[in-house]
Amino acid sequence: MKDLVTVFTPVYNRKNLIGNLYQSLLSQTYKNFEWIIVDDGSTDDIDEIIKSYQNEDRILIRFIKQENGGKHRAINNGVLHAKGELFYIVDSDDYLTKDSIERIVFHYQYIKNNDKFAGVCGMKCFPDGSRIGKEVTWKILKDSWINYWIIKNIKGDVAFVFKTSVLRNYLFDDIPGEKFCAESLVLNRIGKNYLMLFFNEKIYIAEYLSDGLSVSSIKNRMNSPNYAMRIYSEMASLDIPYLKKIKAHINYWRFAPCSKLKMKNKIKQIGIYSYIIFMPIGYLFHMKDKKNNYIDIRHVGSKR
């Protein structure tokens, strides 16, 4: 029996954009997949669009509504409802190459029964076909996400496809009152314990929008500082190059002023030496962010 893949899409007021993704799913050469859509409290009647897709009955679509809580909570919801062996996150404003799922399942066969691997990763590209980030020359790479992104510093976006069973053990934390958590929180945790199979094939086409999460990354972290602090405190404890640790410490204190936690609790989370050495630098970045929190995604080359 062919492996069932769950394609997961979180949506928030995207009724005019999701059609490209739907059409790309209809064109997939591999047909054994379900499409789970979690509506994160939309107000644009996207449910009517999804209902029309369901009525066409061309692919299996499961539509779930939740109160507005952020993409990370939508992912948790999708993972818990997924029936597929693999879980493929595809944003509502992006779409897939016609052989995307087929290539994922092809490469998955090589690590399917290997408990050291959490999943596979293909490459993301712009609509013109250029990779998001620098082109790479290797075809297959077996490595942890931490080695790939933080230590080897291989830039550019990848399309993660995880074993659903692994993701269920790495759900996002739930911090009340905060609605943005970068996916790196879970990626780094998985990267400490698992490998990924990276394959150099472009399977995911990304459209970066001026109102998307990516371009407001700093603002989102300022509005959800406790998630940001948790990410950077955990990153600072990883076995990574010292300069990367320094950056994590600085970023921790960059967003700490936005948190209502007491100072003693902020210090406890990352350590007194971090406070003494890096807090002043982080605070300078914080003051700069307050003046200008817009980030140009083309310069960064990453959607996280």
DSSP H or E segment with residue 248: helix 242-255
Residue type, 214: S
Contact assessment for residue 253 and residue 282, using Cβ atoms and an 8 Å cutoff: yes
What count of other Cβ atoms lies within 10 Å of the Cβ of residue 86?
24
Structure tokens at 172: 């996002």
Could you read off the pLDDT of 109-135 as tens digits, one per residue? 999 999 999 999 999 999 999 999 989
Q: What integer pLDDT is reported at residue 137 of this predicted model?
A: 93
The whole-model pTM stands at 0.92
Residue type, 68: N
Q: Is the pLDDT of residue 292 over 80?
A: no
What count of other Cβ atoms lies within 10 Å of the Cβ of residue 141?
17
What count of other Cβ atoms lies within 10 Å of the Cβ of residue 101?
24
Strand spans (E) along the chain: 5-11, 33-40, 60-66, 86-89, 95-96, 117-125, 140-143, 158-163, 195-205
Cα-Cα end-to-end distance for the chain: 35
Average pLDDT taken over every residue of the chain: 93
Q: What integer pLDDT is reported at residue 211 of this predicted model?
A: 54
How far apart CA 33 and CA 11 sit, in angstroms, is 19
How far apart CA 224 and CA 102 sit, in angstroms, is 37
Structure tokens at 75: 């992912």
Confidence band, pLDDT 50/70/90 cuts, at residue 283: very high
Confidence band, pLDDT 50/70/90 cuts, at residue 15: confident
